[in-house]
């Protein structure tokens, strides 16, 4: 399970060291990386991506909007194998898609983790206090 957040930097070759607590979860699996809907990169292990993509397989090819979503995700996916030092190489296309230059924030998201441009993360992570979050949860009808 991927939890918490940490600040990191990318080296001059575009490599990112995966936090050690995440490397334990990943083990020897390949990773699937693609641009998310909020300007971040989304990272799944190959096994967790198979679970996630099962919903994509159910999208109707006769529905243009559903196929657009499927194509957006699948055509932008990159299969990446971490090197022995626990680094992944983020292509220039991926870095451009997320506005990543040097510094990043890596955030856990249960079955995946995300890689953010720090300024973008600051914009989207203004969650408010616990009371405000409780109101949002109740308004959505969630029980957590």
Please write the tens of the pLDDT for every residue from 50-87: 999 988 888 898 999 999 989 988 999 999 999 999 99
Return the minimum-mean-pLDDT range out of 40-49, 59-68, 89-98.
59-68
Reading the block at residue 138, the tokens are: 């109740």
High-pLDDT (> 70) share of the chain, %:
100
Residues 46 and 31 sit within 8 Å (Cβ to Cβ): yes
Q: Which one, of 14, 15, 4, lies nearest residue 86 by Cα?
A: 15
Give all domains of the chain, ordered by start, each with its CATH number.
5-139 (3.40.1550.20)
């Amino acid at each position: 399970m991927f939890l918490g957040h940490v600040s990191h930097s990318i080296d001059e070759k575009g490599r990112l060291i995966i936090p050690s607590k995440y490397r334990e979860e990943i083990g020897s699996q390949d990773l699937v990386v693609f641009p998310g809907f909020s300007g971040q990169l989304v990272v799944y292990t190959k096994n967790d991506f198979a679970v996630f993509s099962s919903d994509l397989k159910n999208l109707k090819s006769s529905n243009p909007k559903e196929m657009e979503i499927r194509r957006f995700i699948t055509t932008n996916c990159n299969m990446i194998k971490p090197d022995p030092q626990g680094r992944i190489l983020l292509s220039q296309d991926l870095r451009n898609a997320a506005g990543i230059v040097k510094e990043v924030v890596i955030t856990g998201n249960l079955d995946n983790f995300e890689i953010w441009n720090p300024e973008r993360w600051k914009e989207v992570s203004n969650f408010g206090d616990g009371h405000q979050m409780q109101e949002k949860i109740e308004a959505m009808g969630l029980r957590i």
